[in-house]
């Protein structure tokens, strides 16, 4: 045992004694400069792609909001002119689409939004760095918390009208309020 320990100590000592001094670094070569310049260009292209994807994400959400807005307008129009049975169905449909507008596409978009969040992507991630309350729920691109709350309240009122079979004036009031909300988001 003592012999093994002595051999191990002698081997370690000889390693440190015989180890050459590190060479002084040579001046960077032009090839290294060129490699870094090339990588900087690649990184610049990557940044362009990331920013383009962010703009594309917003464009897709705007298209979803526009489609939901159009479905709400259609349902409210049919509710205003339809008979009592048709009015109830159309008001329920309008309420559902107002809710989907409020949530930037509803349950069909939620799994996609969650996948993006799990991958570390959040359209408004910089808001988290300010230390103030975020204006957007995680993963939301266009609809702020305030707009979402307003739209969900409007969807609830619309559903209540469906339960009570609201009249044309009440339906028009919801449509006017919804259009003002949608205009502020879609036409910005």
**Is 164 domain-assigned?**
yes
**Is 176 domain-assigned?**
yes
Please determine, for residue 2, whether its predicted confidence score (pLDDT) is greater than 60. no
187: domain CATH number is 1.20.120
Top pLDDT among 12 and 153 is at 153
What pLDDT is attached to residue 11? 47
pLDDT single digits (tens) 111-133:
988 888 888 777 765 555 455 45
Query: Which residue range is the domain that position 183 belongs to?
Result: 49-124+136-188
**Is 6 domain-assigned?**
no
**Is 17 domain-assigned?**
no
Count of structural domains, the chain:
1
Percent of the chain residues past pLDDT 90, beyond the cut: 43
Closest CA to 151 of 108, 110, 186, 109: 186
**Is 119 domain-assigned?**
yes
**Is 28 domain-assigned?**
no
**Is 142 domain-assigned?**
yes
User: What is the pTM for the complete model shown?
Assistant: 0.74
- By 3-state DSSP, what share of the chain in percent is helix, strand and coil, each rounded to 5? 75, 0, 25
What pLDDT is attached to residue 126? 53
Assess contact for 101 and 68: CB atoms under 8 A: yes
**Is 44 domain-assigned?**
no
């Amino acid at each position: 045992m003592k012999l093994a320990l002595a051999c191990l100590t002698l081997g370690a000592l000889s390693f440190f004694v015989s180890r050459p001094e590190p060479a002084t670094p040579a001046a960077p070569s032009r090839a290294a400069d060129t490699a870094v310049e090339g990588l900087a260009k690649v990184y610049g292209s990557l940044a362009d792609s990331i920013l383009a994807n962010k703009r594309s994400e917003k464009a897709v959400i705007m298209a979803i909001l526009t489609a939901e807005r159009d479905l709400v307008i259609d349902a409210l129009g049919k509710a205003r002119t339809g008979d009592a049975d048709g009015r109830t169905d159309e008001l329920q449909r309008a309420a559902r689409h107002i809710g989907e507008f409020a949530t930037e596409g509803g349950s069909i978009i939620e799994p996609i939004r969650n996948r993006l969040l799990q991958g570390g992507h959040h359209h408004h991630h910089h808001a988290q760095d300010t230390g103030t309350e975020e204006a957007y729920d995680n993963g939301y691109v266009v609809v702020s918390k305030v707009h979402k709350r307003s739209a969900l309240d409007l969807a609830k009122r619309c559903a209540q009208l469906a339960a009570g079979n609201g009249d044309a004036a009440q339906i028009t009031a919801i449509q006017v309020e919804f259009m003002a909300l949608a205009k502020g988001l879609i036409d910005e």
